[in-house]
A and B are shown apart, each in its own frame.
Chain A
């Protein structure tokens, strides 16, 4: 009897290890598959044009040179101007940071109201906001252009911020609302009896609880806004274009030979901030997505 059961555990242990190995092999393959494009981009951006023309696509650079990066950053042509990505990168920063902060803050306030300060019509308003998440971008382009014109902020960075905040509120409200409904309503009642008002309860009790969902929302919004192309190309002018639009212009302004290394470097530069946000805050992202109710 004893021998038999010993045998069985041995066997199942063996089975488990095999499964593990298969799992890791598969995961590694998938990881390689997804990393390959990035690998090609990074290596290509470090090669000289000469080497790109003569060498193989997936070969490591024989000679590492940052020239392409310098050009992409400071002197690549985006049409008639040749200042590289730099000014547009800062446009994107000036656009994304306030838009992310504003839409997150508004989402937090909205979510707090919808989840904890039920009022007549709260459900309807929340449904409308949800609906707003699913309106295709293309539908709002013309009315939005008109509205921006009326407001006198057409073609400006504040105008773009406005568009992104409006468009983001639906999602950010949804995130915060779903997080805040898990917080027992007795917490609000206790704070009311303690004498705190609407904003005080939000500030002292809800915001401190919200770190995980703030991280989720910020990552989400930042990715959306930084990577946006359509709004950027529709509602900006020559001096206010975001980095995505500039990237497109660099890649498409064909003057003579195609500078693949510059294009790749520019693409990486444009993608770097979102990558960075994930690396820094990704841990909290997962945690925030799975965060459950708060036990007082």
Chain B
């Protein structure tokens, strides 16, 4: 299938500051691409470049096979939902939704029909005659979605559409957007810095930092095989444990040595580590460290550790301990007997362990 959006070597400067550096992304029809990254990394800028709201400095941008690099936003066949919703304050909800069609000279009957379809889909019929100022945050969000949906474009662009909502509403709207995507089969590009949103919605995630793409992959790839320390730390909550370690090799295989203050080091076998350099950073998700005896697996190894902090979180209990000079979080079952200040046997599962080069931060395995 031809990509619906294809970005090639895109650069964007504001004056002399480079904001986007050599962006290459392409997505297939029906994809849900999520752009994540810390604040100021250029997500909105990239979205604006895709929309044609900001001119690019270099590179090319194709939508559905056509070079759109210098085409104005109205001719790109896109629709966009903004973080602030950007509803037209003096127009009613209905007028907000139909404004685009009116500008494009769509006849009144079609406008009416499409308006009703979308209003029905988003359940905003009772609001059609209100002004945006008379709506709640969640309702405004829906209207903004309606304005995009009514256009039926090749590409939907969303810039943090949920960030102004409270936690509960955000979860609700998140699943609604997911449903919408599945029902419409539409192609979407979605900016967020909420990594849970990214994981739940995306078919493909782009992690950015300082205008540079760090990794592109499915949510599972990003989660299980982060390309570098930044991605490993950024995606997942609580974050991946990143523990400085030494690789020891003997005739039979490789061992990972994690030093501990005032205690003998922990030694863990991992055959994967055989070709690694001596100094590495071991990346282990909290769920890969459990309480001994509660976890079965091929490569489970146990070690006694000192518990420093216990944080019950409902379904799980997070336990913090110190390994290799770092606070390490383990995800235990809710009924654990662990208590701060005591020792507990942990079970380490290295099957999904990641290894990173300490200097460059790049993934090694």
In whole angstroms, how far apart are the Cα atoms of A204 and B72 in the complex? 20
Asked if B326 is an interface residue, CB under 8 A from chain A, the answer is no
**Binary contact readout A174-203 vs B (1 if CB under 8 angstroms, 0 otherwise):** 000000000010110111111111001000
Q: Mark B91-113, 1 if CB is under 8 A from A, else 0.
A: 10000000110011000000000
- A136 at the A/B interface (Cβ < 8 Å)? no
Decide if B206 is an interface residue (CB 8 Å cutoff): no
Known: A209-B90, A294-B89. A192 touches B83 (CB 8 A): no
Contact A193–B104 (Cβ < 8 Å):
no
In the complex the two chains form, is B89's CB within 8 Å of A296's CB?
yes
Chain A interface residue count, CB cutoff 8 Å, equals 20
Q: Which residues of B contact A192 (CB under 8 A)?
A: 53, 72-74
Q: Which residues of A14-44 have CB atoms within 8 Å of chain B's CB atoms?
A: none
Bound together, the chains give a CA A209 to CA B72 distance in angstroms of 26
Contact indicator B85/A296 (Cβ below 8 Å) = yes
| B74 and A190 within 8 A (CB) | no
B88 to A187, Cβ gap below 8 A? Answer: yes
How many whole Å from B158's CB to the nearest CB in chain A? Answer: 12
Residue with the greatest number of chain A CB neighbours at <10 A, chosen from B79, B88, B133: B88
Q: Which of A186-238 contact B (CB under 8 A)?
A: 186-187, 189-197, 200, 204-205, 208-209
Contact A295 B89 (CB under 8 A): yes
Give the residues in chain A near B85, CB-CB below 8 Å.
296
A196 contacts across to B, CB distance below 8 A: 74, 99, 103
CA distance A132 to B175 in the complex (A): 56
Docked CA distance A33–B19 (Å):
62
B48 contacts A296, C-beta separation under 8 Å: no
What is the CA–CA distance of A33 and B80 in the complex, to the nearest angstrom? 59
A200 and B73: CB pair below 8 A? no
How near does chain B come to A45, taking the closest CB pair, in angstroms?
45
Say yes or no: B104 contacts A186, CB within 8 Å: no
Is B51 part of the contact surface with A, judged by Cβ < 8 Å?
Answer: yes
CA distance A293 to B88 in the complex (A): 13
Choice from A189, A294, A296 contacting B80 with Cβ under 8 Å:
A189
B317 contacts chain A at the CB level, 8 A cutoff: no
C-alpha gap A196/B86 in the complex (Å): 14
The prevalent SS among residues of A at the interface is helix
Question: Contact size class for B?
Answer: 20 to 34
Q: Is the CB of A296 within 8 A of B74?
A: no
The answer for the CA separation of A250 and B89 in the assembled complex, in Å, is 51
Are B103 and A200 in contact, with the CB atoms below 8 A?
yes
Q: Which residues of A contact B99 (CB under 8 A)?
A: 191, 194, 196, 204
Cα separation A189 to B45 with both chains bound (whole Å): 13
The answer for the CA separation of A17 and B277 in the assembled complex, in Å, is 83
User: At the interface, yes or no: B201 with Cβ under 8 Å from chain A?
Assistant: no
Q: State the CA gap A251–B72 with chains docked (Å).
A: 63
The one of B78, B83, B147 in contact with A186, judged by C-beta atoms closer than 8 angstroms, is B83
Pick the residue among B80, B90, B133, B140 that contacts A190 (CB under 8 A). B80
Kindly list chain A residues whose C-beta atoms are within 8 Å of the C-beta of B87. Answer: 190, 296
Q: How far is the CA of A195 from the CA of B137 in the complex (A)?
A: 25
CB neighbours of B88 from chain A (8 A): 187, 190-191, 204-205, 296
A107 to chain B, nearest CB (A): 20
Closest to B87 in A: A296
CB contact under 8 A between A190 and B82, given known A209-B90, A294-B89: yes
- CB < 8 Å neighbour of B90 from A189, A191, A200, A205: A205
Assuming the contacts A195-B74, A296-B132, asked whether A190 and B86 have C-beta atoms less than 8 A apart, the reply is yes
Which B residue sits closest to A194, measured CB to CB?
A: B100
Whether a CB of chain A sits under 8 angstroms from the CB of B84 is yes
Closest B residue, CB atoms, query A296: B87
A6 to chain B, nearest CB (A): 42
Enumerate the 4 nearest inter-chain pairs by beta-carbon distance, A residue then B residue, closest first. A194-B100, A195-B74, A208-B90, A186-B86
Listed A/B pairs (14) with beta-carbon separation below 8 Å: A184-B84, A186-B83, A189-B82, A189-B86, A190-B147, A193-B79, A196-B74, A197-B74, A200-B103, A208-B90, A209-B90, A296-B85, A296-B86, A296-B87
Q: A184-B84, A189-B51, A196-B103 are in contact. List 14 more A-B contacts (CB 8 A).
A: A186-B86, A187-B86, A187-B88, A187-B89, A189-B48, A189-B82, A190-B80, A192-B53, A193-B53, A193-B73, A197-B74, A205-B88, A209-B90, A296-B132
Query: B: which residues have CB within 8 A of A?
Result: 48, 51, 53, 72-74, 78-80, 82-91, 99-100, 103-104, 132-133, 140, 147
